[in-house]
Structure 1
């Protein structure tokens, strides 16, 4: 990727050279790199040795661990350690094979660290019993039940005492589930753990991944074998594949629709899946979920933290934003807590594709490489190899504006200089800045037997998780009668949203339950040109309706996630909830649009709209039509940056 990155930087900053001069300059600039640099797998094999350890925890459980040590490590040349703990396997497991990449990036692998990979408790080659989002038990020691914090502490303690030629400093990183393990490692941390980068970390399964505001993420249905079956002991091969669903179709919408109520899932597929059973038996935010929420435990955090996420991460967007905010709020004197949010999908900052895109939206070239070299590597280098005094030269918040398509630097997030602005949902379909003088409403019929699809791209509906919808064109939804649309006039100047978004909906339903989905959309002008990398020939950016942010709220939880309650039929009711943060400039000539709907299928499960105590056990006959009203004193409150 060196060549492409070099070309992009050069082309941007030296526009005055002729095409021939540019070619010659780039040719001679790149030639030495091409001659000297090895491909990464070869570099790893020639520069690292692999060691296998079974590290004992305080309770005697042994965790299987690979340690990759630079061959030139010596008493006079010591290296820090960078660790990644995962539930997804640290294969290959034989002594002579190496993974394609050892660390967060090629940059760090070539700079050389001692890299440590570990299977967490109860997974793959490690001993013990697996549980999802291991509850935290404050403190570490013999009389405290083990958790991910104590397993991290024990591992770090063993590493610094037993791995030769380490410099006594340890960093930790991991993305997605390993991001959760990275977060957990910062709690009651070992003194040698100096730097931690939770990337797309899960924070709370009731608001991230498997649920959003209590609504079940049905698109995750195919993942349950991975998370809901215990292995019978250490194994290098997948033990859960017998539970994989034979879908017999490539049309996810049709598969989920024909499944019917979620009560049929256990009957047909997951009778013996312990995580499905836990999910069904805990439909509300009870103690089972609450004790798996890592955020309240992020106090007295000692390691430097850099939380990383992607603005278009369909899996873990709640996690990074709220992990950073929780550390900031609960550690007010901590100066080395930071956040980075880029124009990426889940983990997109860890892989370079040349043109940085999400669905049809192009953000620029080599943005992942910029992050890896100038942000991530700099963070770890400072705390693990340099002074570690906190003077990294990086801002607290390094955030990418997905509308202006450029990085912004802030002292905190949300920016303290942002101001609040409300957009009211007027009955005439307009977004208005002034509150209405008299009551009126918009209405639609919601039919769970004809649910609004979350995407037009059928090919993406059968994957392990949904990925693309976060920026997809929403014209198909805007033209449905069961989706309300509110928008501004054409903007006469840029408007930058930077921070949090709060929806306050004033609604009613003719039935006793309802979900509410709000989508924030950037409507492009009719003359918007297509860029050179359009991935789908049937999509044009003319009048493109780009999803900027969206969220669902299960209406029964409007007052409490612990104690759901039905709606009173046809009674005007407040439903207030947050969209996740944004940093997006709506450009002059564009329009800001809000869509409101009640189904979003099969991304999320359907609400029967007739209140039942447990939607996972609803009968097919419980699913009924309803008339929903959205009143004109409903508003969306945003943070504006001027």
Structure 2
């Protein structure tokens, strides 16, 4: 398989292309080739392993330049003399004004030596020749500033998604030359980002497993992994027919087609899938790999700008918690956040029209970020004074309801207050409980007919569009409970986190709980969006603003799961990630509560088993769930 095609496949997974342009534009754009030289080197780490590194240096050697570096598991291709990227750096402005731009294949990936470890754990007390990603980054920067000609001694790091994680890593116990880091859509913890959400497995990501878990131990410039083939255009039915998660093991047994194989029926060759299967709880394995726990080790000498999208399906937890972790532990740090109306990595695109799925948020939003925020950040700390007077706000955030940017001195803003709304009878959502007696609202959670996360009939590599999908299809199902306010007579702005305080019961011993926050648009809206799917209208559009799942067994501890006691009223608290959204006058605020969300997440057997990844068909049972009307939702409301 040719390298170009491999890189294309990888870009499907990470949903971004910092070097995005049409094929026609790529052929015409020779700026990099005309203005940069490319050099490939193998930099030796302290333990002797060599990491493949590509360096793009300006041909104009009359001045010195800072180094902008991205470390990635997704390949620093194209490899070979004379083969160059068409776009380099975080954005076109930083590329055209001149910077030394470096890409590195992380340990065990592509052309770098060593064996890859997914979310490799940070070692707090390394011995002299021991390594981790922190030391690999340090050693790389040390080599670059000492060996790359015409560098000014200042280094910045950036990256989106997994490369964003490595940008976070670069700031921990940072090299003195590192002056600025911009983790963007950065993975923070694999039990809460990407493949898990609060312990629930994102079944819709299963085809991406092999990208990270296929073993290799030698450098290569061609693909060594392959993606499972579904042979279906209906992912809902495909996963429903497959049944229990353990039936997916066959896709990760590399010798399964060998008729002479004596491998065990349950053998798993993919080391990432095996890790997921063997560690269903938030144990030491996952805890050790989380990076947000180490934000106290980011020195004040490194300026950070955390970037994320309010509608990022993969990595919203990571950037929010990274920003908050640095704020909590680094009182002297320069630390800012930028959150816009984007899905995964869309701020790096060069498109004018900014939409997520069916929903339109405005024009030139990403272009403005690149020119007025990102470029200004790196230039100030790598070429300018480098003090805290950067001219940028502490929090630059987009109100996804009013569709406008706001600047604040802190996040959440100082003028927010907590307000609780109760889930009342007759679909009511109000600040007051609707009576002295608590009522029960029951629904049947049928494991043969789970609630879909999207009404689209399709297969996707990893989901994205659903984050702004119209939720009317779900609101009209009997196994989705709906609660909403009266029509608002004034604007109502949420700014910060959301806590769902559910009071529930089930006839079974296990259940998942899903809470969605929805902006119900007026039926007589004048708002229009030419990009809507044909079957939709903006009239009464149910915009999903935020959603989250909690695997009920983890309601008290992610490390020590517990079954439910049948028919016993139980507290289930679900933290939803931050939002910044104004529900405008004439709209309604709606809450949906459900127990399945398929196949975004896997089916819960609704019978407690020690390990869902090893559950049998007989463990899956339809149950009746109850939500009590003293349940509430706590919002952070802008005063």
The TM-score, its normalising length taken from structure 2, stands at: 0.92
Over 3 Å counting, the alpha-carbon distance change for 1:140 and 1:416 in structure 2 is farther
Preserved contact between residue 182 and residue 304 of structure 2 (Cα < 8 Å): yes
For residues 292 and 217 of structure 2, the distance between their equivalents in structure 1, rounded to whole angstroms, comes to 32
Who is 1:399 aligned against? 397
1:332 aligns with 2:331: yes
Who is 1:13 aligned against? none
What is the CA deviation profile of residues 57-90 of structure 1, one whole-angstrom value per residue up to 9, with x for unaligned ones? 011110000000000024xx00000000000001
1:175 aligns with 2:163: no
1:637 aligns with 2:634: yes
Q: Where in structure 2 are the equivalents of 1:220-299 lying within 5 Å?
A: 220-241=205-226, 244-270=227-253, 271-299=268-296
Who is 1:68 aligned against? 56
Who is 2:493 aligned against? 496
Who is 1:142 aligned against? 128
1:91 aligns with 2:77: yes
For residues 370 and 168 of structure 1, the distance between their equivalents in structure 2, rounded to whole angstroms, comes to 29
1:123 aligned to which of 109, 115, 127:
109
For residues 29 and 52 of structure 2, the distance between their equivalents in structure 1, rounded to whole angstroms, comes to 23
Secondary structure of residue in 2 paired with 1:102: coil
How far residue 539 of structure 1 moved from its aligned partner, in angstroms, is: 1.1
Preserved contact between residue 447 and residue 625 of structure 1 (Cα < 8 Å): yes
How far residue 412 of structure 1 moved from its aligned partner, in angstroms, is: 1.1
Who is 1:81 aligned against? 67
For residues 105 and 267 of structure 1, the distance between their equivalents in structure 2, rounded to whole angstroms, comes to 42
Who is 1:366 aligned against? 364
Who is 2:139 aligned against? 154
Who is 2:318 aligned against? 319
Q: Where in structure 2 are the equivalents of 1:16-35 lying within 5 Å?
A: none
How far residue 140 of structure 1 moved from its aligned partner, in angstroms, is: 6.2
- The answer to which of 229-238 and 204-213 deviates more is 229-238
Who is 2:533 aligned against? 536
Preserved contact between residue 175 and residue 201 of structure 1 (Cα < 8 Å): yes
Secondary structure of residue in 2 paired with 1:299: helix
How far residue 536 of structure 1 moved from its aligned partner, in angstroms, is: 1.7
For residues 468 and 350 of structure 2, the distance between their equivalents in structure 1, rounded to whole angstroms, comes to 19
The TM-score, its normalising length taken from structure 1, stands at: 0.92
Preserved contact between residue 70 and residue 157 of structure 2 (Cα < 8 Å): yes
Preserved contact between residue 443 and residue 627 of structure 1 (Cα < 8 Å): yes
Aligned residues: 598
Secondary structure of residue in 1 paired with 2:241: helix
Q: Provide structure 2 residue ranges, at least 5 long, that are not aligned to the other structure.
A: 1-24, 254-267
How far residue 320 of structure 1 moved from its aligned partner, in angstroms, is: 0.5
- The answer to which of 104-113 and 117-126 deviates more is 104-113
1:50 aligned to which of 22, 38, 41:
38
Preserved contact between residue 187 and residue 301 of structure 1 (Cα < 8 Å): yes
1:309 aligns with 2:308: yes
How far residue 40 of structure 1 moved from its aligned partner, in angstroms, is: 8.1
1:597 aligned to which of 584, 594, 606:
594
Over 3 Å counting, the alpha-carbon distance change for 1:161 and 1:139 in structure 2 is farther
Preserved contact between residue 521 and residue 546 of structure 1 (Cα < 8 Å): yes
Preserved contact between residue 381 and residue 387 of structure 2 (Cα < 8 Å): yes
1:415 aligned to which of 405, 413, 416:
413
How far residue 139 of structure 1 moved from its aligned partner, in angstroms, is: 5.6
Preserved contact between residue 419 and residue 635 of structure 2 (Cα < 8 Å): yes
Over 3 Å counting, the alpha-carbon distance change for 1:139 and 1:369 in structure 2 is farther
Q: CA RMSD in A?
A: 1.4
How far residue 393 of structure 1 moved from its aligned partner, in angstroms, is: 0.7
How far residue 383 of structure 1 moved from its aligned partner, in angstroms, is: 0.2
How far residue 38 of structure 1 moved from its aligned partner, in angstroms, is: 12
For residues 377 and 331 of structure 2, the distance between their equivalents in structure 1, rounded to whole angstroms, comes to 21
For residues 457 and 180 of structure 2, the distance between their equivalents in structure 1, rounded to whole angstroms, comes to 42
Preserved contact between residue 253 and residue 453 of structure 1 (Cα < 8 Å): yes
For residues 541 and 566 of structure 2, the distance between their equivalents in structure 1, rounded to whole angstroms, comes to 37
How far residue 249 of structure 1 moved from its aligned partner, in angstroms, is: 1.0
Secondary structure of residue in 2 paired with 1:291: helix
Who is 1:190 aligned against? 175
How far residue 230 of structure 1 moved from its aligned partner, in angstroms, is: 1.7
How far residue 352 of structure 1 moved from its aligned partner, in angstroms, is: 2.2
For residues 140 and 405 of structure 1, the distance between their equivalents in structure 2, rounded to whole angstroms, comes to 48
Preserved contact between residue 312 and residue 344 of structure 2 (Cα < 8 Å): yes
How far residue 299 of structure 1 moved from its aligned partner, in angstroms, is: 1.3
Preserved contact between residue 212 and residue 553 of structure 1 (Cα < 8 Å): yes
List structure 1 runs of 4+ shifted beyond 6 angstroms: 37-40
How far residue 301 of structure 1 moved from its aligned partner, in angstroms, is: 1.4
What is the CA deviation profile of residues 159-202 of structure 1, one whole-angstrom value per residue up to 9, with x for unaligned ones? 00000000000000001001111101100000000000000000
1:454 aligns with 2:453: yes
For residues 182 and 526 of structure 2, the distance between their equivalents in structure 1, rounded to whole angstroms, comes to 38
How far residue 527 of structure 1 moved from its aligned partner, in angstroms, is: 1.1
Secondary structure of residue in 2 paired with 1:197: strand
For residues 43 and 310 of structure 1, the distance between their equivalents in structure 2, rounded to whole angstroms, comes to 29
For residues 337 and 113 of structure 1, the distance between their equivalents in structure 2, rounded to whole angstroms, comes to 23
For residues 385 and 80 of structure 1, the distance between their equivalents in structure 2, rounded to whole angstroms, comes to 7
Secondary structure of residue in 1 paired with 2:393: coil
For residues 588 and 250 of structure 1, the distance between their equivalents in structure 2, rounded to whole angstroms, comes to 41
What is the CA deviation profile of residues 538-567 of structure 1, one whole-angstrom value per residue up to 9, with x for unaligned ones? 211000000000000000000111110100
For residues 52 and 310 of structure 1, the distance between their equivalents in structure 2, rounded to whole angstroms, comes to 33
How far residue 330 of structure 1 moved from its aligned partner, in angstroms, is: 1.5
For residues 111 and 287 of structure 2, the distance between their equivalents in structure 1, rounded to whole angstroms, comes to 29
Preserved contact between residue 124 and residue 231 of structure 1 (Cα < 8 Å): no
Over 3 Å counting, the alpha-carbon distance change for 1:228 and 1:38 in structure 2 is closer
Who is 1:581 aligned against? 578
Secondary structure of residue in 2 paired with 1:234: coil
For residues 361 and 595 of structure 1, the distance between their equivalents in structure 2, rounded to whole angstroms, comes to 20
How far residue 464 of structure 1 moved from its aligned partner, in angstroms, is: 2.0
Preserved contact between residue 83 and residue 173 of structure 1 (Cα < 8 Å): yes
How far residue 251 of structure 1 moved from its aligned partner, in angstroms, is: 1.1
Preserved contact between residue 470 and residue 548 of structure 1 (Cα < 8 Å): yes
Secondary structure of residue in 2 paired with 1:51: strand
- The answer to which of 535-544 and 589-598 deviates more is 535-544
How far residue 458 of structure 1 moved from its aligned partner, in angstroms, is: 2.0
